[in-house]
Amino acid sequence: MKTPVEQKLARPQAPSNPYLPYPVVIEEIRIENEARDLKTFQLAFEREEDRKAFRYLPGQFAEVSVLGSGESPFGIASSPTEQDFLLFTVKLTGSVTADLHGSEPGRRLGVRGPLGNSFPWDRLRGKRIIIISGGFAFTTLRSAITYMLHPDNRGDFGEIFALYGARSPGELMYKSELAAWKKSDAIDLNLAVDREPGEPWDGKVGLVPNVLRELAPSTDGAIALVCGPPIMIRFTIPVLQELGFAKEDIILSLENRMKCGIGKCGRCNVGAKYVCVDGPVFSFAELENLPPEY
């Protein structure tokens, strides 16, 4: 049963020019990590009709435009239940992100989207959700968790188990959300850092795949959502399979270099699938049939 938010979505009505961005303005910029190379941008639509047209589900992404520098695809970190703004967490990597990181609130940007498929919400309903994430890939999972924990939606899902790891405590993102979720009964949140930190730490210590093996969440009626750097994914999948997950029940989100975001420029394909329209969310079963070019 779809919520009102979802009813208007899966594929929004395609705009007449899908390359034109919606104008948005930066409301707030938050530094997420100690290294200060991860910033969350809170964006507000300038036009109400754009805000209404931008119907998305957790797992989707958007192309954020920095006029003069270019566009970059980012997973949407806000949940559709947070109706007044969009959140994107951006790592400083290249010329577009550098321009973005140098911004101040009040700067106008552009957003194209929502793009891509989302997490498979139709399948996730009624299931126990096992979330595994590492590093700065946690962005769309912030969206997913916020969405599921919303009072309108919580009843649709079973237990939620989340494991989120980073190099050190300072590198964990969304610290205020994490603090709230730690206290909540609605989600079993486990945090991990790679090595013993030189500060008080009450979470787990170890690489995510190892901590997952240790915590061994039950696979009963569960689907796993995995988002992380390629190396983490490579070692996490065998653990999930050991625990008893079937390949169709391991859900991943891919990244690839993108430009158009709408399946025309030919750049982001993995085999016959375009990450921007057929993905970025794929099951492990689907990925096994694709060439390892990602």
Partner 1 sequence: MSNAQTTELRQIAKRLLEEGKIDLFIGFQEGTLPLRSRPAFVSAEAATADSPATGSPGAGSLIWDSFCATNLAVYLPKYYENQPGRRKKREKPYPKIGVAAKGCDMRSIVALTKERQVQRDSLVVVGVPCRGMIDTRKVEAAVAAKRGSAGDGGSAAAEEILEARETEAGKLEVTTRSFGVLTFDREEVLQDCCLECRYPMPEGADILLPGQARKPGDGGYARVERFMEKSSEQRWEYFSSELSRCIRCNACRQACPTCWCKECFAEQTDLKWIGVGNTPSDAMVFQIIRVFHQAGRCVECDACYRACPMHIDLRLYTKKIVKDVEETFGYLPAFDAEALPPLATFGDEQCDFFITDPDKNEAAEGTG
Partner 2 sequence: MSDNKERTFMDRGIIRKADIPKLAAERRLFAPAREGTVPPGTCELKENPAEIAYRFSNTRVPLKDIFFPQTETMYTFDFDEVSEVSIPTDPILVFGCRPCDTRALAQLDAVFGPQNKGYTDPYYMKRRESSIIISLACSDPCPTCFCTATGGSPAGTRGADIVAHELEGDSLLFEAVTEKGSALLKSYNPLFAEAADPLVAEVREKDAAVEKAVHQANNLGVSLGEDIAALKDRMDPLFDKRIWENLTASCIGCGACTYLCPTCHCFDIADESRLYQGRRIRTWDSCQFASFTKHASGHNPRTNKKERLRQRFMHKFSYAVENMGEVLCVGCGRCITACPVNLDIRDVIRSFAKEPSRENAS
Stretch that binds partner 2, among 30-38, 88-96, 198-206, 242-250 (CB under 8 A): 88-96
* Minimum CB distance to partner 1, residue 69 (Å): 9
Distance separating alpha carbons of residues 158 and 129, to the nearest angstrom: 7
263 binds, among partner 2, partner 1, none (CB under 5 to 8 A by kind): partner 2
109 binds, among partner 2, partner 1, none (CB under 5 to 8 A by kind): partner 2
Q: Which of 70, 158, 197, 271 binds partner 1 (CB under 8 A)?
A: 70
Q: Are 160 and 148 in contact (CB under 8 A)?
A: yes
* Minimum CB distance to partner 2, residue 78 (Å): 21
Say whether residue 70 binds partner 2 (CB under 8 A): yes
Q: In sequence order, what are the residues at sequence separation of 6 or more whose Cβ sits closer than 8 angstroms to the Cβ of residue 210?
A: none
Say whether residue 110 binds partner 1 (CB under 8 A): no
Say whether residue 197 binds partner 1 (CB under 8 A): no
Distance separating alpha carbons of residues 261 and 218, to the nearest angstrom: 37
Say whether residue 229 binds partner 1 (CB under 8 A): no
Positions in 78-97 near partner 1 (CB under 8 A): 94-95
* Minimum CB distance to partner 1, residue 166 (Å): 25
Distance separating alpha carbons of residues 165 and 141, to the nearest angstrom: 13
- Which has the closest alpha carbon to 40: 175, 134, 132? 175
| Closest to partner 2 by CB, 97 or 146 | 97
| Closest to partner 2 by CB, 217 or 261 | 261
Say whether residue 84 binds partner 2 (CB under 8 A): no
| Closest to partner 2 by CB, 11 or 183 | 11
* Count of other CB atoms within 10 angstroms of residue 13: 8
Q: Are 71 and 113 in contact (CB under 8 A)?
A: no
Q: How many residues bind partner 2 (CB under 8 A)?
A: 44
